[in-house]
Every structure is written in structure tokens, then in C-alpha cells.
Structure 1
Amino acid sequence: MSRPRIALAGLGDSGVLTAMRLARDFDVVGISPRPGLVSGQELGVRLARPAVGDRTGPAQHRVAAHRTARRRRIRPRHTAVESA
């Protein structure tokens, strides 16, 4: 018997945590325009100190999609959501 499917738009910090939790009981399809996760830590630095954020490099706080074991249960789709 197949599990119910859920589409989750946004795979940032909170979206990934939510998707991993939901993946226990549902077939989760995650929608994100980027293939990896950009940590909220990087966003905080870029907003608070833009000059410092540019020097740290764009890949400083990026996490590849396959880095977490439970995230493997989430089927990512790389696209943008235009309306809901």
C-alpha cells in the first residue's frame, strides 16, 4: 500500500527539518530552486554584515542535499513555485 504524498515548498533549514519528520509517515516531495541547503547561519551574517558575508564566499555554509541520512527519503525537485 502506498503512503500519502505531500509536496513541501522550500527546503531551507526549517523545510528540511519538517520534511525529514514528515518522511516517517508520508511520501515527501521537496520543492526548492537550489540543489543544496544554504544554512540560516549564512543568511544571518549576510543580513547583519553584508561586507563580511561577501568575503566568506557563497559556499561557506552550503550543505549538499545528500549529506543527511534521513534526507535521502525526501525526493527533491529543483524548480520554483509560482502559485499555491
Structure 2
Amino acid sequence: MEALRALAQSFTAHPNAIFVATSVDPPAILYAVSADTGIDAGKALKACVAEAGGRGGGNSRLAQGTLPDPIGLADLAERLASAPDK
């Protein structure tokens, strides 16, 4: 995940950008958004991973989380990528 942080920040420097990356081992997710999306990445990711039994958080532009197992990781990534509630 650390290697993806720089890529995520570079990608979300562009307008209307949403970046989602996952890792199966360990089960983790990285979520980043550009400022103009109006999405708070930390709040959105924290809510989604909590529903899946995981933990996470971050700031308004970049957030990370972990899950107890990789089941549901793809669904979680898809949900975040589709611009969740702001």
C-alpha cells in the first residue's frame, strides 16, 4: 500500500478523480479523491470498512483501511469507486 500512496496522490491531483486500490494479503484498501469531488475520503472509507468489520480512516483526500479477511474487498472497492455519499 505504501508504494501506491504516491501514485494515488499524483492521480488525484487531476480534476474529478477517484483512486481505489486493494491488497488481498493483508486485506487492505487505499482510497483517494481529488478536492473537487466533494467526497471526504476518510469518512467514506471509515464507514464502508466498519460495515465490513474492518478499521480505517484518514483525511479528506486520502484514507486507508484493513479488513479481517479479503471476502467482500472487491465489493467495497466498487462501492467507493462509484462515488459514495459525500
Q: By the TM > 0.5 criterion, same fold?
A: no
Flag the structure with more relative contact order, 1 or 2, with Cα contacts below 8 A and sequence separation at least 6: 1
- TM-score of the pair, normalised by structure 1: 0.30
Q: TM-score, normalised by structure 2?
A: 0.29
